[in-house]
Structure formats: structure tokens, C-alpha cells
Amino acid sequence: DAGVIQSPRHEVTEMGQEVTLRCKPISGHDYLFWYRQTMMRGLELLIYFNNNVPIDDSGMPEDRFSAKMPNASFSTLKIQPSEPRDSAVYFCASSPPRGETQYFGPGTRLLVL
Amino acid sequence: AQRVTQPEKLLSVFKGAPVELKCNYSYSGSPELFWYVQYSRQRLQLLLRHISRESIKGFTADLNKGETSFHLKKPFAQEEDSAMYYCALESDRGSTLGRLYFGRGTQLTVWP
């Protein structure tokens, strides 16, 4: 099993552009989490899904951020328009039902110029 | 509100020395606590959870509800322990999985 897969691994874009981050959870996991990691704020939960339904999106910073999970094997996190302060590493994680842990992807390093 | 505090951003010890990474939490309910580790160029992964009461790679962590702490300890540090360590608290685990709150992390460096 390749584990949680994220793409792209690195993204450099200009302010104002739309950015789409992708995640494929581990097969059979019904929880999916999106995190953002910055030097200033550490690792923050943005949103998480259970069975493709958003459960808690209170961590989504503002309307520029949106996340979808159209099916059990795919999720996207979109930033539109992007801003330099969005520069961070974005992690996706998945967990089985009542799992002991979350399994993290390798992260997407985003730089907005 | 839930909060996890790791007071040390950086911690350096020599190989063979004891190491303790501090973690304090605030939570009104009954917490589930974890330590996650991220080795260089690797994914964030679970190291241990308090409910398991096990030792992983020589590390142990005891939940002290009186002091609201969950410090990570190892009696003899090894160079391969050098990594970023995150303490995390899971809230509201009931019929569904709770959300994790992470501390800022402590970068441990073990010198030869």
C-alpha cells in the first residue's frame, strides 16, 4: 500500500492564482483530514470528512479555501485566489473507522509569490 | 478550549543521555493523547498513544492528569531519535473519531 497520496508535492504560484491540492486516502479509510503547517501556527486542522461528508470545517481560514470529497478515494483542497500568506505545507491524512491513528501523506509544499 | 503546549521548540542532547520532551494540555473532558514523530524526509507518523501504555523505540509517556502533562521520555537517546516530535490531543471521541489538536512541535537533535 502506497499510503496516503498527495499531489503535487511542490507548487509555486503567483498571488491571485487558483491552487488545487489533491489527496487519495488509504483504501478502506473513511476519515480524511486536511492540515496546514506553518512556522507561525504549527500544524492546524483545516477540515475533516467522514464518509465523504464534511464534519468540521471550523479550521478553514476563510472563504478563499474550499474542500471537497466527491468519493471515498479522492479529495481536493482549493484556494482561490491564493495569497502569499497561504504559503505552507498542506498535509492530508486518513483514518479507518475508530482507528488508532491518522496516516499522513507526504504533504504539498505551497509557495505563493 | 483544547490546547496543547510544547514549551521547547528545540532540544539538544548527546547520545546516551536521557531526554524528556515536555507536553502540557488543557481540556475539560477525558483526553486521549498521542505523540507523533516526523523524521527527516519522512511522513508524520504515530509514535505512541497514552491509552496503549506501551514503549516504542525506547520512548514512554505517562499521562499525568493532575499536572495535565504527557511528557515523552527516553533514558538513553540515540542519534536516530533526531526528529520533530508533536504532542497531540484528541477531543470528543464518541461514536465518531475526534479531531486532533497538535502542539507546535519540538525539534530533537541527538549529537554523537
Question: What residues in B contact A98, CB-CB < 8 Å?
Answer: 97
Position with higher pLDDT, B42 vs A23: A23
Say if the Cβ atoms of A45 and B99 lie within 8 Å: yes
Whether residue A2 is predicted with pLDDT greater than 90 in this model: the reply is no
Say if the Cβ atoms of B99 and A99 lie within 8 Å: no
What pLDDT, on a 0 to 100 scale, did the predictor assign at position B93?
A: 60
Comparing A81-90, B50-59, B100-109, the range with the smallest average pLDDT is B50-59
Question: What residues in A contact B99, CB-CB < 8 Å?
Answer: 33, 45, 48, 56
What pLDDT, on a 0 to 100 scale, did the predictor assign at position A97?
A: 79
Which span out of A51-60, B53-62, B69-78, B99-108 was modeled with the highest average pLDDT?
Answer: B69-78
Whether residue B62 is predicted with pLDDT greater than 90 in this model: the reply is no
Say if the Cβ atoms of B43 and A106 lie within 8 Å: yes
* A82 contact partners, CB below 8 Å, separation of at least 6: A13, A14, A15, A16, A17, A18, A19, A64, A110, A112
Report CA B8 to chain centroid distance, whole Å.
12
pLDDT, tens digit (0-9, with 9 covering 90-100), for A14-47: 999 999 999 999 999 999 999 999 988 889 999 9
What pLDDT, on a 0 to 100 scale, did the predictor assign at position B75?
A: 96
Q: Kindly state the cell numbers that stand for A93.
A: 491524512
